[in-house]
Amino acid sequence: MRRLSLVLAALLCSAGPLVGQEDAGDPGALRQRIADRFAAKVQEDLGLSDQQASRMRDVVGGYFVKRRNMEAEERRVRQALAGELRPGVAANKTNVARLTEQLLDGKIR
C-alpha cells in the first residue's frame, strides 16, 4: 500500500500542466485560445462554412472593439464626474451638466 502511494505521488509530481495552465503566464494567449474554442463551437452549432465563420468573426470583432472603446469613454467620463462631485469642493455646474450629457449620450449609443 505504501509503495502504491509513493508511485501515485511520483506520477502526480511529474505530471505536466493541467489544461489552461500552460498559458498562465500569458493572459493574451489564454484569451485567444478561449476565443478560438468559442468560435469553433459557434461554427459547429450554427453549421457555418469556414467563409461564413470568418465573416462572423470579423463582424463580431468590430462590435467588440466599438464596445470596448465606448466602455473606456464611459469610465473616463465617470471619473471626471466623480472628480467634479468631490465632497467639500464646489462643483462646476457647467462641467457637471456637460459630463452628465456625455454619459446619457453614451448610453443612447
- Over residues 10-34, the pLDDT tens digits come to 555 555 555 555 555 678 889 889 9
Q: What is the pLDDT of residue 22?
A: 57
Mean pLDDT to the nearest integer, 85-99: 90
Residue with C-alpha cell 489552461?
A: 20
- Which helix (H) or strand (E) element contains residue 76? helix 50-84
Can you tell me the distance from the alpha carbon of 98 to that of 96, in angstroms, rounded to the nearest whole number? 5
- Give Rg (Cα) of the chain: 25
Contact (Cβ atoms closer than 8 angstroms) between residue 85 and residue 96: yes
Q: What is the pLDDT of residue 79?
A: 95
Give the model's confidence band at 69: pLDDT under 50 very low, under 70 low, under 90 confident, else very high: very high
Question: pLDDT tens, 31-68?
Answer: 889 988 988 998 899 898 999 988 988 888 888 889 99
Q: Is residue 20 helix, strand or coil?
A: coil
Q: Vertex 58, ends 56 and 21: CA angle to 5°?
A: 90
Closest CA relative to residue 98, chosen from 77, 74, 82, 79 = 77
